Chain A
Amino acid sequence: MNLTGKFTLQNWPDRPEIATQEGKNKLIGLWLFLGGETVLFATLFATYLALKNRVPDSSHPLTQDLYSLPLVFAMTAVLLTSSLTSVYAIYHMRNYNFKAMQAWFAITVLLGFTFLCLEIYEFFHYVTDFGHTFRSSAFGSAYYFLVGTHGAHVIFGLGWITGLLIRNAKRGLNLYNAPKYYCASLYWHFIDVVWVFIFSVVYLMGMV
Chain B
Amino acid sequence: MAKDIQYRLKKNREEMRIQFISFGLMAFLTIISFLAVGLGFPASFVIPFLLLLAIIQVLFQFYYFMHAKDEGHEFPMSFMYGGIFTAFLMILAFCTIIWW
| A residues with CB within 8 A of B | 9-10, 14-15, 18, 27-28, 31-32, 34-39, 41-43, 45-47, 49-50, 54, 69, 72-73, 76-77, 80, 83-84, 87-88, 91, 94-95, 186, 189-190, 192-193, 196-197, 199-201, 204-205, 207-208
Contacts and interface: CB of A to CB of B under 8 A. Distances in A.
B66 A186 contact: yes
B5 A189 contact: no
B82 to A, nearest CB: 6
Given A9-B5, A18-B72, A46 B79 contact: no
B80 A34 contact: yes
Contacts of A36: 83
Contact of B95 (A15, A43, A50): A50
Interface residues of B, number: 51
B86 A39 contact: yes
Given A46-B94, A87-B65, A208 B47 contact: yes
Chain A interface main SS type: helix
Given A69-B38, A95-B9, A45 B91 contact: yes
Contacts of B46: 204-205, 208
21 contacts: A9-B5, A38-B87, A42-B88, A43-B90, A45-B91, A46-B93, A46-B95, A47-B94, A54-B100, A72-B34, A77-B27, A77-B30, A80-B27, A80-B30, A88-B16, A186-B66, A189-B66, A197-B54, A200-B53, A200-B54, A208-B47
A83 B61 contact: yes
Given A83-B65, A193-B62, A208-B47, A31 B80 contact: yes
Given A77-B27, A87-B65, A207-B37, 19 more contacts: A18-B72, A28-B75, A31-B79, A34-B79, A35-B79, A38-B87, A46-B90, A46-B91, A46-B94, A46-B95, A50-B98, A69-B37, A69-B38, A80-B27, A91-B12, A196-B54, A196-B58, A200-B33, A208-B47
B37 to A, nearest CB: 5
A49 B87 CA distance: 13
